[in-house]
Amino acid sequence: MGPASRVEGTLLCRAGAHRIAFAAHEVAFIASAERESTARTWSARRAFREAASESRGRVLVAPSGESVGVDALELDADTHSVLPPPHVTATLSGGSLRGFILVRGALWPLLGLADFEHYLRGLDAEAT
């Protein structure tokens, strides 16, 4: 296992009952789900085989334009060590898994926003 890297500033998100996190610097802006409703937004819930929520959530938009919907989020300004992902999880979610951060005693999968959106989009293509 290699040395842990660090991440300063994260968005801690909920997708259904599940936790995911993104580095804050990978998020250009945050929009309400309603505002983004005209564009196709990919719900993070799909990575957990759950249907998108009917409730209002938030949409994280990457600088390159990719967008992912989550149910709830909070900004964490602390710096966290990024624990390397286990080898067997490396190819899951399209390789978007950067590692895990430990926040308040719980592990949060740290994902690359643009890569995660590509993965979610691929799920949609597989389903059709």
Partner 1 sequence: MALPEPESRQSYLVFACGSSWYAVPAESAAEVVTFPELTRVPGAPAHLLGVFAHRSEVIPVVDMSLLVGGVSAGSRRAVLVRLSRGTLALTASTVAGVSSVAGVLEPLGPSGVHVHLRGPGKSGARDVAVIDIEGLFDHLSQGG
Q: Does 75 help bind partner 1 (rule: CB under 8 A)?
A: no
CA distance 117 to 41: 9
Which residues, numbered 77-96, are part of the site for partner 1 (CB under 8 A)?
Answer: 83-94, 96
Task: Dump the DSSP string for 9-24.
Answer: EEEEEEETTEEEEEEG
Structural contact between residues 98 and 85, judged by C-beta atoms closer than 8 angstroms: yes
Smallest gap, in angstroms, from Cβ of residue 95 to partner 1? 10
Binding mask 32-61 for partner 1 (x = CB under 8 A): ------------x--xx-------------
- Evaluated on CA atoms 61, 82, 85, 108, the torsion sign reads negative
Whole-Å CA distances, 107 to 9, 21, 34, 61, 127: 16, 10, 30, 23, 30
Q: Does 111 help bind partner 1 (rule: CB under 8 A)?
A: yes
Smallest gap, in angstroms, from Cβ of residue 93 to partner 1? 4
Q: Does 72 help bind partner 1 (rule: CB under 8 A)?
A: no
Q: Which residues bind partner 1 (CB under 8 A)?
A: 1, 15, 18-20, 44, 47-48, 83-94, 96-97, 99-100, 102, 106-109, 111, 116, 119
